[in-house]
């Protein structure tokens, strides 16, 4: 979808109070968009958000303005970009993933913040509770740690004789310890051994593969802006090392990963637009409950399976939301 498709007149749409006030002041209500990666890498998610925003009557450039800031997979930039949006005095900040949300929360306790995704917003300190977020932050939970056990079961199902696997994770991501705990618990139950490799920046990827080579029989890649940005490189190296990969996001599988299971992120980004809409109409974040996922996807890549010499069980293929061939 092209940008000009969004910049069309909003014929007959109701003028919300905030819009009217902003236009009288000569300024459109403004969304501060804090992206963790790049416009190209998360275009599918941005489009989902903008499409729903348009359905709700908010047309970029006509009834609402959007200030985009992109961290390009560099976690150290989150605080700087969040502070910049605060200085611009945007009306609401939209972001996603745990580290950017925490950076935005640190930058302001006044401007409303909506997160499209967050692994475990309660245990990571983003909100007080799902029902009553409190403060200036609300949004949608991805429940990533909660389904870690399901991913391990799937991994064992598709990798015959699995006994040991590696985890690639960024330890600077606040929720990592929570999911690693769940992964290790599930692995113990199934009699599997686990090796954890820390990836804070792109330069750590090669060393992690060198450490996993010859030991791990599969690779569990945790979601993180750094790993997401370099997902194609990670999956290419995994193919070279003959390591089947498990992910929580479909985008990794679309970039040659083997399998993913997790919340449907485009759906969450659409629902995030409803949160932004409510706040622009005057609702308070503290009073809008955090939603949990309603759609979970199981995505498998047959081309990758064939390259690895793996025959995916019919039981897995039958449950798949999408099979990439």
Residue 99 has what pLDDT?
92
Of the CA atoms within 13 Å of residue 211, those in its CB half-sphere come to: 16
What is the set of domains in the chain, with CATH numbers? 3-142+265-294 (3.40.50.2300), 145-263+297-324 (3.40.50.2300)
- Evaluate whether 231 touches 251 at the Cβ level (below 8 Å): yes
Residue 26 has what pLDDT?
58
Determine the length of the chain: 325
Q: For the chain, which residues score pLDDT lower than 50?
A: 1-25
Cα 99-104-106 angle, rounded to 5 deg = 95
User: How far does Cα 115 stand from its chain's mean position?
Assistant: 10
Tokens of 143: 């429940």
Residue 22 has what pLDDT?
45
Residue 145 has what pLDDT?
72
Tokens of 47: 């489009």
Residue 177 has what pLDDT?
85
Cα–Cα distance for residue pair 33/293, rounded to 1 Å: 22
| Residue carrying structure tokens 């199981």 | 298
Residue 24 has what pLDDT?
39
Percentage with pLDDT > 70 across the chain: 92
| pLDDT tens, residue by residue, 234-258 | 999 999 999 999 999 999 999 999 9
């Amino acid at each position: 979808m092209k940008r000009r498709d969004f910049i069309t007149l909003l014929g007959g749409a109701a003028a919300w109070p905030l819009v009217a006030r902003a236009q009288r002041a000569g300024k459109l209500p403004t969304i501060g968009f804090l992206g963790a990666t790049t416009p190209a890498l998360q275009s599918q998610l941005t489009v989902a958000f903008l499409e729903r925003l348009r359905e709700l009557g908010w047309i970029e450039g006509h009834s609402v303005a959007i200030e985009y800031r992109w961290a390009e997979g560099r976690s150290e930039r989150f605080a700087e970009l969040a502070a910049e949006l605060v200085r611009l005095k945007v009306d609401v900040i939209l972001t996603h993933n745990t580290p950017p949300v925490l950076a935005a929360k640190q930058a302001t306790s006044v401007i409303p913040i909506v997160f499209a995704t967050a692994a475990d917003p309660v245990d990571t300190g983003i909100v007080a509770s799902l029902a009553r977020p409190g403060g200036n932050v609300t949004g949608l939970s991805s429940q990533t740690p909660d389904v870690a056990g399901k991913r391990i079961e799937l991994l064992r199902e598709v990798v015959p004789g699995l006994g040991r696997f590696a985890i690639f994770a960024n330890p600077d991501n606040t929720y990592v310890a929570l999911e690693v705990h769940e992964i290790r618990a599930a692995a113990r139950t199934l009699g599997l051994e686990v090796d954890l490799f820390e990836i804070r920046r792109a330069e750590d990827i090669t060393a992690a593969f060198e450490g996993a080579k010859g030991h791990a029989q599969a690779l569990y890649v945790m979601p993180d802006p750094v790993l997401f940005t370099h997902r194609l490189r990670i999956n290419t190296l995994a193919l070279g090392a003959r390591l089947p990969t498990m992910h929580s996001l479909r985008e990794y599988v679309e970039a040659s990963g083997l399998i993913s299971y997790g919340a449907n992120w485009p759906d969450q980004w659409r629902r995030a637009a409803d949160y932004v809409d409510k706040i622009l109409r005057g609702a308070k974040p503290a009073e809008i409950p955090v939603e949990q996922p309603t759609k979970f996807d199981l995505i498998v890549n047959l081309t990758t399976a064939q390259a690895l010499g793996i025959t995916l069980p019919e039981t897995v293929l039958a449950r798949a939301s999408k099979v990439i061939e």
